[in-house]
Every structure is written in C-alpha cells, then in structure tokens.
Amino acid sequence: ALSDGGRELAQALSEALSCGDGAVTMTIFQDADGGVAREDDDVYVGLDVSKDAHVDVLDRVEMLVEVTLGDLVRIRRRVAAASLLENERLKIQDEIDAGLRCEFSLGYKAMQDLLMDGGAKVKHVQNVCDVDRVVVDARQRTIRIVGKDAREVARARDMLEVAHETIEAVPDLALRMIVGKGGAKVNDIQKRTGAHVSVSFDKNSVFVRGCPSAVKSAMILVKSCIKTYEVEHVEVTPETLDDVREELARLDMEWGGSNVHYVGGGRGNRGPRNGGRGGYGNRGD
C-alpha cells in the first residue's frame, strides 16, 4: 500500500473522503516497530475532522472508508490468488514440457487391474522408480506422475500405462506364421517383449497390449513375421524375371558396369576370348 508513498491507496479512498465536504482530512501511515518500517507492518488510515464540523460527517466518511478498504482487500486477495494460480499453472506446464510431470488415461479394465491387491503395482512402481508421487484418479481413470528426473518419470509411466495396437486384414497363412507350431512363435514374442499378443482368425487381426515399450517391440516382431510371409509368397513369373534382367542390363550399361549382359531367356552368349565357357552358350574362340 505504501510502495508508491500511499498515492494509489489515497486515490482509491478519495471518493469516500469527498463525502466529508472538505471538513475531513486523511493520513495514511504505517505502524513501524522500533521506528523501522517493514513490509508486514500494518497500514493505517487516519481521519481528522475540523472543529467546526459535525461529528456525523466524520462518522459518514469513516463508514465509507471502511467499506472501500474492505472491497480493496477482497480485490487484492482475489488478484493475488489468481496470480498465484496462474504461476502454478505455468510451473506445471514447464515441468510437463521438461518431462518432470506426466498424465495419461487408462481403460476401465486396465484401471481395475491396477487397483487390484490394494494397488500393489502402484506401490511397486513407487519403490523401484525415483519419483516423488503417483496419483491415481480412479473416477477419471487418470494417472499423474511427478518427479525430479525425466527419465524416472518416463520409466514409471512405461510401467503403468497400457497401450493397444491392432493389425487388421492379415492373411490366414501370415497369422499361422505369427502363432507358430503349437503357439511357439507367439509365445516367444510375448516372452521377449512382455506384451500380450492375441491372434483372431475370425477377424484376421492381431491385437497387442501392454506397456508402451513392450507393445512397440512386439509390433516390430509381428510385422516382421507378416513381411516374411509377404516375401515368401510373392508370385514370380518368367515375364517378371525377364523384366528384372532387362532393367539390370540397362542400369549396368548406364553406369559403366561390367561387360556382362543379361538377355531374355537367361542363356549366356559367348565366353571371353581367352577361353572358358559363356554360360550354356557356345565355346569361346
């Protein structure tokens, strides 16, 4: 209130003071302890009335000043609370951007699984990860993690978050390749990654569920199986082979490669002049 010599406060009280018809004067001062003013010392507003004025004038101005001061205090408190809230929001956003806080949602079943056994999994994560706190909002199905190390926060999230991925329109033979003999292949993928992999022949789909890093790893292995199936089942015709040979010959000539020329039919022409055989062609001179 006195940072500017009390001018702002005096201006705010000027309307109430004007109701004294010039007979009331105002003084703003601080109750300094030991003569040394401090920021936490109380600030007072003193009102004086001239001798020839009636005391009712002073009472009226006093009442108006008290009401105005009460309004000013409430306004200042609200402004301070709003500023504090905004600063806290900015701080939280900065920490989110730095990876020191994270928030994610879980499905209904995943949240129920997490709350089983008295939240043992959450307690385990808090014990093995260096994070300040893990907040479980069961109603909103939301997890919030706070810590001082972004890597530890990410590690805790990876242990608690449940990701889902689906690969659709997978051919039956590719699904059989993913499952493997007696389920050996899919079990190996699950053992290596820690993700749950299920295969649906009815929907021609593969479903992968687990923590994000496990799901990512499992997806790589599943897609590798599908890619292997696609490569092994590419239909190659004699015409396709001829096209490939002609394209190789063209590239070889354009880029100054060897003297070997690929001709449709796959048979060599003639071997080198210093002897030897040229594929199944005639002998060299």
* DSSP per residue, 160-221: H--EEEEE-S--HHHHHHHH-GGGHHHHHHHHHH--EEEEETTTTEEEEEESHHHHHHHHHH
Helix (H) or strand (E) holding 90: helix 55-97
At 19, the amino acid letter reads C
Q: Write down the pLDDT at residue 4.
A: 63
At 92, the amino acid letter reads I
Quick check: 167 and 199 in contact, CB under 8 A? Answer: no
Residue 140 pLDDT level (bands cut at 50, 70, 90): very high
Residue 114 has pLDDT above 80, yes or no: yes
Range 40-69 average pLDDT: 84
94: tokens are 């900065």
Alpha helices in 98-171, H assignment, sequence order: 108-115, 120-128, 150-160
Q: Write down the pLDDT at residue 33.
A: 60
Range 150-160 average pLDDT: 95
43: tokens are 């600030």
At 237, the amino acid letter reads T
Range 243-256 average pLDDT: 76
Residue 83 has pLDDT above 90, yes or no: yes
How many angstroms separate the CA atoms of 129 and 157, rounded?
A: 10
Q: Write down the pLDDT at residue 55.
A: 82
| Span 95-108, pLDDT tens digits | 999 999 999 999 99
CB atoms within 10 A of CB 100: 19
How many angstroms separate the CA atoms of 237 and 206, rounded?
A: 31
For the chain, the average pLDDT equals 84
How many angstroms separate the CA atoms of 89 and 232, rounded?
A: 56
Which phi and psi (to 5°) does residue 126 adopt?
A: -65, -30
How many angstroms separate the CA atoms of 95 and 132, rounded?
A: 13
233: tokens are 């089942």
C-alpha separations of 205 from 125, 176, 179 in Å:
32, 11, 12
